[in-house]
A and B are shown apart, each in its own frame.
Chain A
Amino acid sequence: MIVDSWERLRDVSRHTSTRVSGPGEFRATGPSEFRLPERGASAPFTPVSSAITLAAPGEERELPLSLTDLGVSYTLIMKKLINDPDDVVDEMLDGMTAAYPDRFRRLPDTQVVVRDDAPVEGKVALVTGGGSGHEPTHAGYVGDGMLDGAAAGDVFSSPTADEFEALIDACDAGDGVLAIIKNYEGDVMNFETAIELAEMEGVEVESVVVNDDVAVEDSLYTSGRRGVCGTILVHKAAGAKAAEGADLSEVKRVAEKVIDNVGTMGTALTSCVTPEKGEPTFDLGDDEIELGIGIHGEPGTERTELMNADEITDALTEAVLDDLDLDEGQEVLTIVNGMGGTPQMELFVVNRRLQELLGERDLETWDAWVGDYMTSLDMAGASITVCAVDEELKELLAAPADTPALTRTQ
């Protein structure tokens, strides 16, 4: 790897061995190749510490320490409202529970948030979890009529199995637990391990895996389709069913019904910057957009020239509708979901075109949601979700819910 800007130094500093050569250039052994940044920022690499100042051009030395260990100071080209990147999830959860002290409590020594009144007697518990950086997903949907608790992993990383296990234990009131898992390998493996452990302790647990992203069959993080914004509808419908007092198999059936009838596709206008890396997770030119993105800053399926809102909406909607293959007259719920860095103004512009398109296809919009439901940090972009609904799903999706991120009143 060739380090070519201060921006990249943070990455290098994490490696244990850093090879330095000549003045003005670092060479480091590292995990991947770093490309030259398109847009300037190639600051000079004059090391601050004398320990790595090499006078002779071409001179190379293997340094046993990281740059941070050597006392090299550098400025991150990243503006974020964070303190230490390592603390960001912890501090977010503390802030969240401080914002909703009557709704939430955080299990001690975990990154798990549960309803303040968990376990709720006489009700199947709904739990979920996944990486952080998708707020208001996941904890934003904890509350009456939706989830009983959620485990937060580090940014874009699955929670560990012991955290999922603590979540299940804290939410189970004896009527069983439904785990709603988004299809990512880490999430699935850690959740399944936790479920097996909980079952050994006598907890009845069922799980569903949401895979609504129509863009890809396999991705960097999954075998099979990814789970994205359609997951919110699973939380809502299954949560309403559980609130009615339905048993575990009924709640699971409803969750699967949503999964069978929902599709999503997203686009990115920009990449996103993780607190940890401090740099975009993929490079996207000023005049390019990425179609078929996931929610972890992973590249999409197709990179195209920038298009206007209607053209993008057409591309996304057609992909979703082709996949769902709905009958004329079918009633649908739609979501235009912001990826975190897109103003509502633009989301409504997208929704306008989406509703036009549905009309052209003779589909009936039963409800249209617009907002940030499942984000990808500061990514600019949006995803479009379409879910075919019948009388049962309509009733459940409209049922009362009271959570920080989604409220429905009768």
Chain B
Amino acid sequence: MSREGRTDGGTADEATEGAAVVAAVEAVADRIEDERDHLTELDSAIGDADHGGNMARGWAAAADAARDLDDPDPQSVCRTVGKTLMAEVGGASGPLFGGSFVFASAELDDGVTAESAVAFAETYLQKVEDRGDARVGDQTVVDALTPAVHTFKKSIETDELPPLEALAKAVDAAERGVAFTVPIRAKKGRASYLGWRSVGHQDPGATSALYILEELLATAADALDSEVPDADATSPTIPDEEPDDAAGDGEGDAPPEDGD
């Protein structure tokens, strides 16, 4: 497994990594604050117009709390961010965005590596799905997170891409996921009470998740002194190779033998 994802090669790493994660949290807080009105506008169309304000308040507090940590390592930063979001955001977004951070931070016992980042992402998605009882297609944050996490995992584990490139692909995937929330009907969350009227609206939670991932990518690129790579989540990196567990299903997808 690729170890290129480490933001350093040596042992002073937890501190360096911790500082990078704090920087990411600060960047997210700034971004959410910038997008606050936009998020509120999205939420006012389908919910109770509090998403922008709640998230901005939560992330600002999370950035403060992260900055105040004495010896920040990635795990402690993530746990602190999660706890703070849980306490400050409230409603359903508190446990969904914040609680999931706390639980996923358990994957960072050994700092941030390509593997632990994948595990973190998978746990985070799992917790959001379980807590919100939401699946892809319900017009929720899950629609942004699922393609992002799946793309990230495949890019790291199958394609063995450098983590920054994998993250860039994940962000592209999340963007597509956010776009996917627009033409579908909400089945979970406040918007679900609108029934068919929810069709045509972009999910605010999915949008927040995209902003968070975009800032994570930008900060990671900074920390690695790299440019943010161009990425297209839909371009197969290894076109001829199918994931092992999908091999058996291959026939189902094959074109009919006699078309007419």
With A16-B37, A160-B87, A161-B99 already in contact, the answer to whether A193 and B131 are too (CB < 8 A) is yes
User: Which A residues touch B132, using CB under 8 A?
Assistant: 189
B40-97 interface with A by 8 A CB criterion = 40-41, 43-44, 48-49, 83, 86-92, 94-96
Instruction: Summarize A's interface: helix, strand, loop or mixed.
Output: mixed
Closest beta carbon of chain B to A36's beta carbon, Å: 20
User: Which B residues touch A220, using CB under 8 A?
Assistant: 190, 193
With A31-B49, A160-B86, A197-B102 already in contact, the answer to whether A189 and B95 are too (CB < 8 A) is yes
Is B91 within 8 A of A158, CB to CB? yes
Closest beta carbon of chain A to B18's beta carbon, Å: 22
Residue in A17, A162, A185, A223 whose beta carbon sits within 8 Å of that of B86 in the complex: A162
B175-215 interface with A by 8 A CB criterion = 188-190, 192-193
Closest beta carbon of chain B to A349's beta carbon, Å: 35
Is B87 within 8 A of A31, CB to CB? no
User: Which B residues touch A29, using CB under 8 A?
Assistant: 41
A186 close to chain B: CB less than 8 A? yes
Q: When each residue 122-152 of chain B gets 1 if its CB lies under 8 Å from chain A and 0 otherwise, what string results?
A: 0000000001110000000000000000000
A304 close to chain B: CB less than 8 A? no
B92-131 interface with A by 8 A CB criterion = 92, 94-96, 98-99, 102-103, 131
Q: When each residue 100-131 of chain A gets 1 if its CB lies under 8 Å from chain B and 0 otherwise, what string results?
A: 00000000000000000000000000000000
Q: When each residue 181-223 of chain A gets 1 if its CB lies under 8 Å from chain B and 0 otherwise, what string results?
A: 0000110011011001100000000000000000000101001
A253-310 interface with B by 8 A CB criterion = none
How many B residues face the partner with a CB closer than 8 A? 31
User: Which A residues touch B91, using CB under 8 A?
Assistant: 157-158, 186
With A189-B96, A193-B131, A196-B103 already in contact, the answer to whether A161 and B49 are too (CB < 8 A) is no
A32 close to chain B: CB less than 8 A? yes
Closest beta carbon of chain A to B124's beta carbon, Å: 13
A400 close to chain B: CB less than 8 A? no
Residue in B40, B49, B94, B192 whose beta carbon sits within 8 Å of that of A160 in the complex: B94
Is B37 within 8 A of A161, CB to CB? no
User: Which A residues touch B190, using CB under 8 A?
Assistant: 220
Residue in B44, B88, B96 whose beta carbon sits within 8 Å of that of A31 in the complex: B44
Q: Please measure, in the bound complex, the distance between the C-alpha atom of A192 and the C-alpha atom of B41, giving whole angstroms.
A: 29
Most buried by A among B87, B99, B102, B133: B99
Residue in A162, A186, A197 whose beta carbon sits within 8 Å of that of B92 in the complex: A186
User: Which A residues touch B87, using CB under 8 A?
Assistant: 160-163
Is B94 within 8 A of A190, CB to CB? yes
Residue in A17, A162, A192 whose beta carbon sits within 8 Å of that of B83 in the complex: A162
Most buried by B among A30, A32, A160, A192: A160
Is B86 within 8 A of A193, CB to CB? yes
User: Which A residues touch B188, using CB under 8 A?
Assistant: 223
Is A160 within 8 A of B92, CB to CB? no
Closest to A196 in B: B103
Is B40 within 8 A of A161, CB to CB? no
Closest to A29 in B: B41
User: Which B residues touch A16, using CB under 8 A?
Assistant: 36-37, 40
Closest beta carbon of chain A to B96's beta carbon, Å: 7
Closest to B99 in A: A193
Q: Please measure, in the bound complex, the distance between the C-alpha atom of A17 and the C-alpha atom of B193, giving whole angstroms.
A: 27
User: Which B residues touch A158, using CB under 8 A?
Assistant: 90-91
With A192-B131, A193-B86 already in contact, the answer to whether A32 and B95 are too (CB < 8 A) is no
User: Which B residues touch A17, using CB under 8 A?
Assistant: 37
A144-202 interface with B by 8 A CB criterion = 154, 157-158, 160-163, 185-186, 189-190, 192-193, 196-197
Q: Please measure, in the bound complex, the distance between the C-alpha atom of A197 and the C-alpha atom of B101, giving whole angstroms.
A: 12
Closest beta carbon of chain A to B82's beta carbon, Å: 10
- A-B residue pairs in contact (CB < 8 Å), sample of 15: A31-B40, A31-B48, A154-B90, A158-B91, A160-B89, A160-B90, A160-B94, A161-B94, A162-B83, A186-B92, A189-B92, A189-B95, A189-B131, A189-B132, A193-B99
Question: Residues of B at under 8 Å CB distance from A?
Answer: 36-37, 40-41, 43-44, 48-49, 83, 86-92, 94-96, 98-99, 102-103, 131-133, 188-190, 192-193
Question: Residues of A at under 8 Å CB distance from B?
Answer: 16-17, 29-32, 154, 157-158, 160-163, 185-186, 189-190, 192-193, 196-197, 218, 220, 223
